[in-house]
Each structure stands twice: as structure tokens, then as C-alpha cells.
Structure 1
């Protein structure tokens, strides 16, 4: 009879989960034994990096991915990175080894005494098989929960279960599909509301890009001549940022959002929460006389919103209904030119770096960005017109950038990948450089070195606490660190040298360290 391990491998194979990101410990070895030859195991040197790589990979491919963590300690190490995957709605399937069943109650070394509670409330589902015979079904549930809820799931498995011999299991052939479509009456009502609006506006969220609706969202905005914003704190870019209809990223405060939307009688929000605020700037949630309609397939986002109406549905049929049933209006089409980049006095201004990237990199480049203090400079200089061009830590958890860039490049080797990482952020996921070198991942890391936590300094001013310690990080040399991990690295001091370096195309990973002047997010 087949073992639980063999049935698990067969199920994963049939579901296409043949790439495993992990950092193994003793409890995980029985699961990893006898992996089919066509499975790929991607090793990370820290569990936070493992989850970050898997997050980037799953977002680039649009498919679930398996993550293998080590017991309670390894799962704990992954939780910071897991917050980003939760808020980007990435369908990660997290598995972790557990002590043998007879040792759990004794709290033996490496026993996770309350495994199902450890990762809550982050994950959408957490479980542990009731017995060895329940392993295949539990694994299937973890996969289906991640797919259906678009949220990480977590499964702890006692390692003596894997060798148990089981009967052939019907779970291998199971199929679970989602079909969340709006009714005709709901579509008719929404179409009538938008058609009757005197000054409607569109707000798009990261789910539009993640759901493959980037081009259709552009078509909708152009068809109805809708001024278009991106929802606050975006982890993906759902609309070209130089398009004539683009009005920018909404600010992440209550009052500033309301001010930005003033004058619009109907605001249609597709694929986003309303809203992911950050800075506490209280005020009216919406301007007087503004009706907000949110369309999302995220039940939680719809339920917790403080204002407006929500339709829980896939945004795709809503977009198509609006395109089909409302006559086209004369629209502002085309793209606006980028302004001249600001220049630095003692080092390069971040805008000079981003202008160099814009001018030298291919139009289909995917950018993984983790440099919060340069957000304003980024959007002023970049010109992103393709789906899947922008990835950002969705929960603001540092350590996303380096590993996610590796994962994105592994997930889609046909598009160039550039990681734009601040010197503060880079330290949280630095061991991703080893994985990039070991697997010869063709990714370019651009490290912006300004010697400070720029976003913290900005927040210090906002909060009236400008004199707090711990905001300076001098003396870091990422070229030396990269060389130690096996990544080709260089430091550039001027714009011409930077552009020369960026025009080269290495066959593996490379790191470019650029000294830049400190800036603020806004």
C-alpha cells in the first residue's frame, strides 16, 4: 500500500505544486524524502526569506505554492514575512513538521504543543491531521483553502505520519473551484448607477493586477473617461502610472482620501479594501454627497469597510458589463511625459536612479520595490505600462524585497526583474542573496544606500518625535556582503556609471549599490 508521503506527493503533483520553498529541519525530513525527480526544492537560509521568495513566486505565476517550514521555531521565523503574503492575498500553502504523536503531549524538543493556534490569526485556515490516515485529506484542504480564500493556509504534520501505509485515497482526484459571479440584477443596478453619475471616478486595487485585469481596467477607464486612482498602500500597480487618466496613489489617511475624492458623486472601487490607511489623519471618510461602491471578492474587506456599499463578486464581469452597456465617452488617452529628475547635492537623488532605470531597462521589467522613503520619487519618474510590473510589501513588513525579487524571477524567467531596495530594508532578507547566487537567478538588485531609516525620520516629524534614537545605520557595505554570498556586486557614485552598469545584462544575479540622498515618502 502507498504511504501517506507518496499520496501527498501525488496530490501535490496533480495540483501543480511541484516547486517547494523551504528550510528543512529534522521534523521535515520524512516528508521531503523520496520527492519525485521533477519536483524542485528551493532552499532559503532563513524562513522569512523562504516565505518572501514563495510570495514573489506565487504572485508572478498566479498559482499557489508550497512552503515547508521547521516546526514551531521555523514557523515563528516566517511570521513577519507572512504578514505581507496575507495582505497581498497570496495563496501560500505552509506545511510544517511536528514531533511524533507520542511526544507532543510531553512537550519534547521541537514539539509544537498547540500547532493549529500558532499561525492564527494570520492564516485563513490552520490544521493538523487527526491521525495518519487523515494526512492526504488535510493536505488537500490546506491547498483548497489557500486557493478559495486567496490567503495562506497552514498544516502541521507529525513526522511519523508520513511513513504510515494507507489505502488509495479518493482525495487525489478532487477538484474545488470558485465561481463568485454577480447576478444580472446586481449588474443592472451598478451599470445604471455609473451611467447616471455626473462626475464618476475609479479607484483600483492590487487585486486587479493580481487577477489579470490590468488591460481591462485601462479599457474601462478610457471607455468611460474616468479619472483613476490607485487605492492607498498598493502592493501591485493596477493602472499605468503615466496614463493621462491616472491621478496618482491615494494618500493613506482618512481626511486626505476624502479631500482627494471631493467633487465626485460616484466612486467605483474595484479590487481593493476601502481603504488601507496608514497615517492617522482623522476626518470624514467620504466627502458629502459622494456615493462609494466597492466591488471585491474578499469577504473580509467588504465586511470591515467603514463606509459605502459593497458587492462581493469577481470584478471581471463588472468591468465587462460596464464596457458593454454604457456608451463610450470621449476620453483622455495616451501618456504624459515624466518630469526632469531632481538632482542631489552630496549624492544621487533617488529620482536620478529611477530615471536611469526607466531609460535603460526593458519595458516589460518587473520591479520589486522595498524603499518606502522614496515612494514619491518613484512615482514621479517611473513609467510602468504592463501588468505585473510592480510588487511591494503589502503589510509593510521589511524583508520582502530581496527574497521576493528572487521568487518573482524564478516564477517568470521570461521577464527581467529588478529589486529596488533600501539599505535599511535589505538587512531583513539579506540571505536571499545566497539563494539568488546558488540558483543563478538573473535578477538585478539596486541598493539605495543613504545610511538612515528614511521613513522613520519622516514619521518622527509627523508624530512630533524627531529626536528618537535608532534611525541611523552607517557603515554598511552591501558589495562586500554580496561577494560573501557569491553575488557579483559594484558601487556606483555618479549617474553615468549607474547607467553604464544598468545597460549590461549578466547571466546571473548582480547587485549595484548606489549612494543616495535621504528623502521622504511624500
Structure 2
């Protein structure tokens, strides 16, 4: 007998899904019992960390990732991290176990009440099949929906007695199904965009995460060089779509209306590719564009195009469109832009390592193609001042600002890269607590991430906003008394605490030479906890 579980796993494997990220409960065991040999199960200790790992994994592989959640409670635990996947357009397939079908209406223990509504409006699509025979088709629909533009997470709740039911013959067609997006800019649209860019007096490119997700970074470079124009990364960047040492690179746009308009002043044509217009954060209102500027928007997301407050939008896959534009726009004849200035010399200090000095040390110690998973929001300016990112896929950041992404996403990214690229996680001490259980997974699976915790004893981003909003000293801004060396060692990750540049450099070298995870707690602010202990690495 071919069961619903058998066919469903055939559907998943047909899409290349051979890894499951989960933290199981009783409702999920029948689904996992049907899991075919050769499938890898990656266990996390909290659903937020589980989803973050899958998010990092899928962003690196470019394919779908499967997340197995426990009923309503496990789904709820994952929803904070789910917001990152939504704004990263990460193709996650979330499955959740439901109680036995005949008991759902009674709301017995572990019933997922109104399951399809639980994750809305975050996911692209959510469902609970009305009949066991529809489960394989619904799962197939879920995977295709997650992968079709705009990519994003989907959610499927399945009563656990469905998996053992006999599958109908028609289900055998599902593993062979394929969906191909129809999209590409036609000749007329390409000629119009190319003409507008070529005819601009002073054009500028603003690139977003979809450029990097599509691995169109080199096409963006070709287009910028043909135009001889500067390039900005769109506000609230979750990926790095352009090499940071290229002469055209200008940095990341600030996340307020007023600041964006100031940075774009003097440009008559602005091409925004692969990003919303715009992901503002701070409320500093002003004119949406400099006077006389025209904004062209290239996006694969129809929702992004619809909600933008300004500009003309073309909805199409960003990578192919950029490649086509780079081939159509003639050389402008503008003089080459001067090389980027040398990295600024970071300030040093006694008793702590300022963030910019730390980032310079990481840049010097890490391999050239290292992947930086960053979740230290208050030190973004210092990070970008020292960043040398050239290879596609080299930077990941929580796309919606939901804390807890950094540590687990780094584990997922390293699992996806294997030995091909090293991953370093740069995470603030406040952020780290949201995904700290990912250290256990890193230790258990010997995932060689270099975890760097920036320890300043406070929520730096909140203190910045307290100044911006004029709220003064409010409760809950500080996080004293944290010892990440003891926490890491408790989870099985060797760790060291450092307070000066020399010790940091030595610890980074040892960490990158190791074949398993290592954690550095780097004190980045003066007088943090008064703790001058230097812990040594231990073998493990």
C-alpha cells in the first residue's frame, strides 16, 4: 500500500528537499516516521531557532527548506523568526502537525484551532486540507507556491492520522509536476529602461537583496560600469548585492525618508532594483525624492510594486532583467570613478575593543569569501566602514529586524556551504539571547561557525532610538550580567572572552583554524560587568 506519507515525501524529494529542520511533538511523529532513508533531520531546541536555521540554509542554497513545527504552540514560537523569512522572500515550507482529524472540532489537547489562520497574514499561503486524499496535492501546492515569484514561506497543517491513509492513484502524478515562472522583461520594456538610464544626466543605482539572491551581482557591476554611476544598497539591507570595494559603491542608504532624499540629491534618474521603495525605519519625514528626480522600480514582487509610494515599476525577475539591461546600456563616456579610499583606521581603546576595530580584525582574519551573518543593529555604520564583501551571498541580516536570526541563520548557512565557505556570525549581546540555543545544534553537528558576540551590556539600538524619540532613560535598556563563555560551554561550544585587539586577533585566528564551532565574547564597551577574566579555549 502506498500511503499519503509515502507520496508526500516523494513530492518533497522531487523538489530536492533532503533536509528537515524541526523540533518535534507528538502530532509530528507519524510524518517523521514516513521520512525516507537518506533524509537529514536537523534538530533545534526552540522553534524560532529552527526556523532561523532553515532561513539561513534556504537563502544560501536558493532552494526550498522544510520546517516541521508542533501544532499551534510550536508554530507560535516560530512566528517572530518567520517575519525575517517573509521579507527575505525565503522559500520555506512550514508543516505543522494537527490532532486526529475526527477530534479537531472538539478542540482536544494539542488541537491547532483554525490552523490556516494562525500564520496569516505573514505567509504567502496557508491551508489545512479538507480530506486526507488532498494532503499530497496540498503539499505540492505549498512547495510550488513557496518557489514561485515572489518567493516566500507557506504553511500547511496536517492531521496526523492522514499520513498512514492509503493514497489515491492520482497522487502518483504529483512528484513529476513542475512550475516555471513566465516572466521576463519584453524587448519594449528593456529598451525603455535602457533608454532612460542611458539618457540620464546623473543616474544612480539602488540595489536590494533580490539582486544577491538571484546572484546578479556581476550584472549589477556591468550596468554600473557602463553608466559610470554610483551605487547604493537599499535601506534595511538583508543581503549585499554589490562589492563594497568597487569604486562605484557608496554604502547603505539610511532608513528614513529625509536621509534617503538627501543621499540621492543631484541624481535625475534613480533605478531601484530588487528592493522595495523603500524599507524605512526611523520616522524622519520629508520629500520622497529630490526635486526633478525620476524613480524606476524593478522588482519581482507585485506587492512591492503596488505599495510603493513613488516611482514607475516593472515586475519581472530581477536577475535576468539586470543582465539584459547591462547588455543593452551603452558605455556613457563618463570618466571612471576614483578607487575607494583606504579603510579608515579604527580607534583603539584600553579594556575593550571598539566595534569598528573588531570588524577590522574580523575582516583581516576571515577568508576572502567568508559569509558574514550580522545581527548587531547598533553598530551597522562601523560594520560597513570596514566591510570588504565581494563574493555573492557574503552577507545576511534579519530582513524584518526580528531578533534571533543571527546565530541560527549562521548555523543554517554553514550547513548549506559545508566546507566550501566559512561563516562568521557577528551578533550583539542583546540579540544573541533570542537565538542562543542554536549553539547546541552547532555543537551537536560540529558546524564550524565562528560566533562573535559583541558585548556592551545594553540594547544599543534602543538607546539610539531613545535619543531619536526623546524618551530618555526608560526601563529595559540594559542587559548586564551575561557570561557568554559559560553559556557557550554549557551548550558544548568552546569559547573565550577578550578585551583587547591582540587577544581578539589571536582568538579569531584560532577560531577560523578550528574544525568545529567557536565563540568569542568580545567586550566592546568600557566597564562592562567589571569582568577582566580571559578564558581559554577548551578542546571539544
Could you state the TM-score of these two structures normalised by the residue count of structure 2? 0.94
- SS of the aligned residue for 2:467 comes to helix
Matches within 5 A, 1:272-351: 272-328=275-331, 329=333, 330-332=335-337, 334-351=339-356
- SS of the aligned residue for 2:323 comes to helix
2:202 & 2:471 partners in 1: Cα distance? 41
- The aligned residue for residue 98 of structure 1 is 98
The question of whether the paired residues in 2 share the 8 Å contact of 1:293 and 1:310 is answered with yes
Q: 1:46, CA displacement in angstroms?
A: 0.3
Q: Is the aligned partner of 1:153 residue 2:154?
A: yes
State which of 486, 493, 508 in structure 1 corresponds to 2:492: 486
Q: Is the aligned partner of 1:450 residue 2:456?
A: yes
- For residues 367-418 of structure 1, give each alpha carbon's deviation from its aligned partner in whole angstroms, at most 9, with x where no partner exists: 1000001101101112111111110000000000100000000011110000
Q: Is the aligned partner of 1:215 residue 2:215?
A: no
- The aligned residue for residue 250 of structure 1 is 253
Q: 1:288, CA displacement in angstroms?
A: 1.2
Runs of at least 4 residues off by over 3 Å:
333-336
Matches within 5 A, 1:122-521: 122-148=122-148, 149-168=150-169, 169=171, 170-328=173-331, 329=333, 330-332=335-337, 334-413=339-418, 414-504=420-510, 505-517=513-525
Q: Is the aligned partner of 1:13 residue 2:16?
A: no
The question of whether the paired residues in 1 share the 8 Å contact of 2:350 and 2:500 is answered with no
Q: 1:255, CA displacement in angstroms?
A: 1.1
Q: 1:333, CA displacement in angstroms?
A: 6.5
Structure 1 residues 459, 345: closer, same or farther in 2, change over 3 A?
farther
1:429 & 1:321 partners in 2: Cα distance? 40
Q: 1:334, CA displacement in angstroms?
A: 4.8
2:168 & 2:259 partners in 1: Cα distance? 61
The question of whether the paired residues in 2 share the 8 Å contact of 1:242 and 1:337 is answered with no
- For residues 181-209 of structure 1, give each alpha carbon's deviation from its aligned partner in whole angstroms, at most 9, with x where no partner exists: 11111111111111111111100001000
- For residues 351-372 of structure 1, give each alpha carbon's deviation from its aligned partner in whole angstroms, at most 9, with x where no partner exists: 1111101111110000100000
Identify which range, 204-213 or 329-338, moves more after superposition. 329-338
Q: 1:326, CA displacement in angstroms?
A: 2.6
Q: 1:346, CA displacement in angstroms?
A: 4.3
Unaligned runs of 5+ in 1: none
Q: 1:321, CA displacement in angstroms?
A: 3.2
Identify which range, 19-28 or 323-332, moves more after superposition. 323-332
- SS of the aligned residue for 1:262 comes to coil
1:443 & 1:111 partners in 2: Cα distance? 38
Q: 1:315, CA displacement in angstroms?
A: 2.2
2:338 & 2:223 partners in 1: Cα distance? 12
2:469 & 2:37 partners in 1: Cα distance? 55
Q: 1:335, CA displacement in angstroms?
A: 4.2
1:325 & 1:45 partners in 2: Cα distance? 51
Identify which range, 152-161 or 247-256, moves more after superposition. 247-256
2:345 & 2:352 partners in 1: Cα distance? 17
Unaligned runs of 5+ in 2: 527-540
Q: 1:240, CA displacement in angstroms?
A: 1.5
- SS of the aligned residue for 1:175 comes to coil
- SS of the aligned residue for 2:434 comes to helix
The question of whether the paired residues in 1 share the 8 Å contact of 2:223 and 2:329 is answered with no
Q: 1:331, CA displacement in angstroms?
A: 2.7
- The aligned residue for residue 61 of structure 1 is 61
The question of whether the paired residues in 1 share the 8 Å contact of 2:219 and 2:326 is answered with no
Question: How many residues matched?
Answer: 518
The question of whether the paired residues in 1 share the 8 Å contact of 2:498 and 2:521 is answered with yes
Could you state the TM-score of these two structures normalised by the residue count of structure 1? 0.98
Q: 1:489, CA displacement in angstroms?
A: 0.6
The question of whether the paired residues in 2 share the 8 Å contact of 1:243 and 1:336 is answered with no
Q: 1:34, CA displacement in angstroms?
A: 3.3
